[in-house]
Structure 1
Amino acid sequence: MKTLDRYLLREALDLFAGGLAVLVLLFLAGAVYEVLAPLVAKGADPYTLLLYLLYRTPEAVVRGAPVAYLFALLLLLSRMAEDAELKALLALGVRRERVLWPFLLLGSGIALFAFLLGESLVPRSLAQGQDLLRRQVLERPRALLTPGATFQDARGRVVYVGEVKGEEIGELRVLSREEVLLAQRGRFQGGVLRVEEGLRATYEGDRPRTLTRFQRGELYLKDLTFEPWQNPANRMGLAELREEVARLRALGVKAGLEATTYYRRFAEPASALVFALFAVGLAFYLLGGSRSLGLVGVAVLTFFYYATWSVGRIMGEQNALNPILAAWGPNLLYGALGLLLFLGGRR
């Protein structure tokens, strides 16, 4: 490896590491925001929250690595253009292809790392994070175990807690327009409130219709079936995803969510290679007019990719766009622009 390669890789890696750290923190902050209210309401301790964030970290790294690489390359090449380093390289006979090569090499390493991490660790860590919430928080609703507490079950009925005895609750009332349930005691178990020794009265308008007694019953609680991830396909491996897409399509279902997730597993890591071409092409194109991006331009282009990626993902998952185009569209856009800029830039 020559001196130029070592210099470019060292500078890019430093900026990439800093950008990735910031993006991971932002991603985890968003993850905390998704679940903070349910966690606090159900009495989560700081250890549970930290462990949950640990399970979300691999996903944050995979999602943030390509974007951090784009930010790092744009910032590095913009700085090199402002310091006349790119002009000096051209004056010494160094071709643009020679500058592009080490960035493509580094991008290949980042893409391979993100792909392997996304296929191996990310699905397992997301599943473990979900299990953590259900096991330690959602199935042990400490905040609900207070006299006078009210909440809803999965059918929208209001549940009133009149008495608390350790882990048991008593004097329960379940109210709706059509019926009233009274139970002597109950216990939370596995996202279900199991009640015993109760009375059920049904109504037709304002008039009682039936009155029955029961020994045992189950109420599925809305608050205890909290799902922080709207896309369960993120917790599947590629083989499982491929089988699920084939199964749904065999049933006549479009399977936009699963198919888009499947193709994104390849498209997102591969974007690191596309970003190398785009960043180098843009830097040498602007060099012809003695211009540079600056920090604002770098931030805008990075955000624009994230915006196109988000729009494509949503449209693909909602079957408004072909899943392949939804996943690969941002890469095709930046790749085409990068190639045009690279071919038309200063030599």
Structure 2
Amino acid sequence: MKIIHKYILGEMKMPVLFGVSLFTFIFLIDIMVQMMENVLVKGVSIIDVVRILSFYLPPILSQTIPMGFFLGVMITYSKLTSTSESTAMSAMGMSLNSMMKPAVLLATAITFFVFFLQESIIPRSFKKLEEITYKIAYEKPAFQLREKMYIDEIDEYSIYVDDVNNEDGVAENLIIFKNEENSPYPTVVTAKRTSWAEASMILEDAEFYQSDEVGKEKLRGKFLSQKIPLNSFFEDIEIKVDEIEALAIGTLLKEMKDKSEEEKIPYEVEINKKLAIPLSTIMLGILGVLFSVGHHRTGKSVSFGISLGVIFIYISSLNVGMVMANKGAVSPVVGVWTSNLFLAALTLYMYIKKTRRG
């Protein structure tokens, strides 16, 4: 039996990789489109884009690995059925439980791997993602600019951007308010053109206006070019992972200690989610076998359709439950684990059905 189990595990490798790659690509499409816009329009380097995508990958994989595994199992066992290999295994005295064993073993290993992703890799990825975002902001501040945008409190400056030339990242028609310590009114600077370099604004063709303590104009002037350093703005940025989804379970438990019952809800929802999604892999693995073994007409297209249907129901119920839990309509345990109970009930039903037929 060990040889057969090893054979089934070998057959599962490529379908599982295909399934995980497929769902990961689907999840990445929107991010990839945004990144291509940053490359073509905003001038972000390809290397930085690749690094950003690599840091987005672990949190996406934590969701797509169980989905891809389910599809891979269905494809593998459907192939074994269509080629009558599963029939031959049954004739040799191999039980349904024995046939499921390779899928269960691989599902268990994948479950531990997803836990490892969530607890170790994902928090580091989010931190690296923030670091590279600030790096891009430091080297190319125009990356963050949009038309009709108001930026408040960059050092002692507040900036209004009227127009941005996306080809070279140059802002046009800027209005800058510089807060003065000894005056209730800021110095107003208008610049027809502003470029950015090394965390500094370079103002061109600009005028400035200063007011006295009662708001009357006391000084006006013009200059062709002036460089305004913003180094302190970037140096004061503290890299801190504060997104709940990026935190490990231990960190979530620590941060929710001193919070009120209402403030604890998002943390409790996230903790339950980090437990429920990896554990769903085992049920999905068993379910994939039960859906596939014995159905001779089940090909790749049918397997794909069934897997999409089950995954759609699971993800939809999970998201609805999480929304209801975050709003306080149901407890976090009920909101998150209902979708897993659905999988467990479906798995039990299919298992009883298969064993009775056998």
Pairwise TM-score range, normalised by the shorter structure: 0.7 to 0.9
Mean Cα displacement is larger for which, 9-18 or 309-318? 309-318
Q: Secondary structure at the match of 2:93?
A: coil
| The one of 255, 260, 277 aligned to 1:268 | 277
The answer on whether the counterparts of 2:107 and 2:285 sit within 8 Å (CA) in structure 1 is yes
- Hey, what does 1:152 align to over in structure 2? 150
Q: Does 1:247 align with 2:258?
A: yes
- Hey, what does 1:333 align to over in structure 2? 342
Alpha-carbon distance in structure 1 between the residues aligned to 2:36 and 2:331: 35
Task: Report the residue type matching 1:127 in the other structure.
Answer: K
The answer on whether the counterparts of 1:241 and 1:262 sit within 8 Å (CA) in structure 2 is yes
- Hey, what does 1:279 align to over in structure 2? 288
- Hey, what does 1:237 align to over in structure 2? 248
Mean Cα displacement is larger for which, 293-302 or 150-159? 150-159
Task: Report the residue type matching 1:296 in the other structure.
Answer: G
The CA deviation string for residues 232-274 of structure 1, in whole angstroms up to 9 with x for no partner, is 11221221111223332xx242433322221222211111111
The answer on whether the counterparts of 1:174 and 1:180 sit within 8 Å (CA) in structure 2 is no
- Hey, what does 1:57 align to over in structure 2? 57
Alpha-carbon distance in structure 1 between the residues aligned to 2:252 and 2:149: 36
Work out the number of aligned pairs and report it.
317
The answer on whether the counterparts of 2:62 and 2:118 sit within 8 Å (CA) in structure 1 is yes
Alpha-carbon distance in structure 2 between the residues aligned to 1:35 and 1:25: 14
Question: Residue 143 and residue 116 in structure 1: after superposition, are their counterparts in 2 closer, same or farther (change >3 A)?
Answer: closer
Question: Residue 79 and residue 302 in structure 1: after superposition, are their counterparts in 2 closer, same or farther (change >3 A)?
Answer: farther
The answer on whether the counterparts of 2:176 and 2:188 sit within 8 Å (CA) in structure 1 is yes
The CA deviation string for residues 152-184 of structure 1, in whole angstroms up to 9 with x for no partner, is 23599843489xxxx999984259xxx997226
Q: Does 1:296 align with 2:305?
A: yes
Deviation at 1:40?
5.7
**What residue ranges of structure 1 are gaps of 5+ in the alignment?**
202-208
Matches of residues 212-231 of structure 1 in structure 2 within 5 Å? Answer: none
Mean Cα displacement is larger for which, 2-11 or 273-282? 273-282
Alpha-carbon distance in structure 2 between the residues aligned to 1:41 and 1:312: 39
Q: Secondary structure at the match of 1:253?
A: helix
Task: Report the residue type matching 2:336 in the other structure.
Answer: A
- Hey, what does 1:119 align to over in structure 2? 119
Alpha-carbon distance in structure 1 between the residues aligned to 2:112 and 2:347: 21
Q: Secondary structure at the match of 1:247?
A: coil
The answer on whether the counterparts of 1:42 and 1:141 sit within 8 Å (CA) in structure 2 is no
Deviation at 1:9?
0.9
Q: Secondary structure at the match of 1:152?
A: strand
Alpha-carbon distance in structure 2 between the residues aligned to 1:145 and 1:338: 51
Alpha-carbon distance in structure 1 between the residues aligned to 2:39 and 2:216: 38
The answer on whether the counterparts of 2:66 and 2:281 sit within 8 Å (CA) in structure 1 is yes
CA RMSD of aligned residues (A): 4.3
- Hey, what does 1:183 align to over in structure 2? 189
Q: Secondary structure at the match of 2:273?
A: helix
- TM-score where L is the length of structure 1: 0.73
Alpha-carbon distance in structure 2 between the residues aligned to 1:262 and 1:189: 43
- Hey, what does 2:223 align to over in structure 1? none
- Hey, what does 2:17 align to over in structure 1? 17
- Hey, what does 1:206 align to over in structure 2? none
Question: Residue 190 and residue 312 in structure 1: after superposition, are their counterparts in 2 closer, same or farther (change >3 A)?
Answer: farther
- Hey, what does 1:8 align to over in structure 2? 8
Deviation at 1:57?
1.9
The answer on whether the counterparts of 1:282 and 1:338 sit within 8 Å (CA) in structure 2 is no
- Hey, what does 2:224 align to over in structure 1? none
Alpha-carbon distance in structure 1 between the residues aligned to 2:273 and 2:245: 10
- Hey, what does 1:308 align to over in structure 2? 317
- Hey, what does 1:205 align to over in structure 2? none
Deviation at 1:191?
9.4
The answer on whether the counterparts of 1:279 and 1:338 sit within 8 Å (CA) in structure 2 is no
Mean Cα displacement is larger for which, 132-141 or 41-50? 132-141
Question: Residue 115 and residue 233 in structure 1: after superposition, are their counterparts in 2 closer, same or farther (change >3 A)?
Answer: same
Question: Residue 5 and residue 57 in structure 1: after superposition, are their counterparts in 2 closer, same or farther (change >3 A)?
Answer: same
Question: Residue 212 and residue 197 in structure 1: after superposition, are their counterparts in 2 closer, same or farther (change >3 A)?
Answer: same
**What residue ranges of structure 2 are gaps of 5+ in the alignment?**
178-184, 220-227
Task: Report the residue type matching 2:88 in the other structure.
Answer: A
